[in-house]
Amino acid sequence: MARLTASASPHPHPRNSRRHTNARCSASDAAPGRAAPEGAYFVSGAAGFIGSHLVESLLLRGCAVVAVDSMDQGGPYPRDWKEANVALLHRVAAENAARGARLAFHEADAGDSAAVRALFAGGGGAAGMPPVSRVCHLGARSGVRGSVEDPAGAVAANVASTAVLLDLAAAAQCRAFVLASSGSVYGECSVDAAGRPVPSAEGDSTAAPVSPYAATKRAAELMAHGRVVQVDSIKPRVENAYGFSA
């Protein structure tokens, strides 16, 4: 995930300059000597909170990014917030084109196999976009409440999309697949003898998720299990990320 810095950014945001004066990464965050890898990154959920920070960070490193977001209205954030994120990403891509940054953003569901397959081959016709070599699957109906109100929608957004992207990544012989999972897979928080909450450990049981959202995240993890799908994957269990956004 992109680092949040206190440095001033060269990309003031027209809607809310706070994002770029206090919170966003800057070109200096691109580590010297870390050349952009061959091929493009495919990032789902790119208009969301973590996804937009990730794409911005990749663009500042001079990477090529094929980005999708379904602009899902069942999640916690409004559409205009996501549109502001996308506008910012286009601006960052333009400002960093000379160092190799490329951005192809498409409003699409990551579970739409036909649409996404076309994007893997070169960003859907975007000039200078190489084939996808790495996948970061952040797209999800991210709120617990939305998953309780519409469990089937959460399964479609979170699990079906994972199956489709794993399949495409394996076919494209992608080098890496990152799936954003969630600490919610651990279920109810454990407490010690004094009733104090105990942080979850990686080996804790994931057998009893307490929301449809958590269940979809565990299901997606299992879909990505290396012995089931032939693509190397890592599945960070994110816990309450926070920071500035548009």
Ligand X SMILES: NC(=O)c1ccc[n+]([C@@H]2O[C@H](COP(=O)([O-])OP(=O)(O)OC[C@H]3O[C@@H](n4cnc5c(N)ncnc54)[C@H](O)[C@@H]3O)[C@@H](O)[C@H]2O)c1
For β-strands 40-44 and 64-69, DSSP reports them as parallel
Q: How many residues bind ligand X (CB under 6 A)?
A: 31
Alpha-carbon distance values, 199 to 73, 184, 191, 241 (Å): 32, 12, 9, 16
Nearest to 68 by CA among 113, 13, 130: 113
For residue 142, state whether it binds ligand X (rule: CB under 6 A): yes
Find out whether 42 and 119 touch, Cβ atoms under 8 Å: yes
The pattern of x and - marking residues 7 through 46 that bind ligand X according to CB under 6 A reads: -------------------------------------xx-
For residue 50, state whether it binds ligand X (rule: CB under 6 A): yes
For residue 165, state whether it binds ligand X (rule: CB under 6 A): no
Q: Compare residues 207 and 242 and give the one whose CB is closer to ligand X.
A: 242
Q: Which candidate in 77, 186, 213, 242 is catalytic?
A: 213
When CB distances to ligand X are compared, the closest residue is 48
Burial of residue 143 (CB within 10 Å: 0-12, 13-18, 19+) is middle
What is the total residue count of the chain? 246
For residue 240, state whether it binds ligand X (rule: CB under 6 A): yes
For residue 139, state whether it binds ligand X (rule: CB under 6 A): yes
For residue 162, state whether it binds ligand X (rule: CB under 6 A): no
- Angle formed by the axes of helices 113-120 and 161-171, to 10°? 30
Find out whether 180 and 1 touch, Cβ atoms under 8 Å: no
Q: Is 186 a catalytic residue?
A: no
Between residue 93 and residue 112, which ones bind ligand X under the rule CB under 6 A?
Answer: 109-111
Residues that are catalytic? 213
Question: Which residues of this protein are in contact with ligand X, per CB under 6 A?
Answer: 44-45, 47-51, 68-72, 75-77, 82, 109-111, 138-142, 157, 161, 180, 182, 238, 240-241
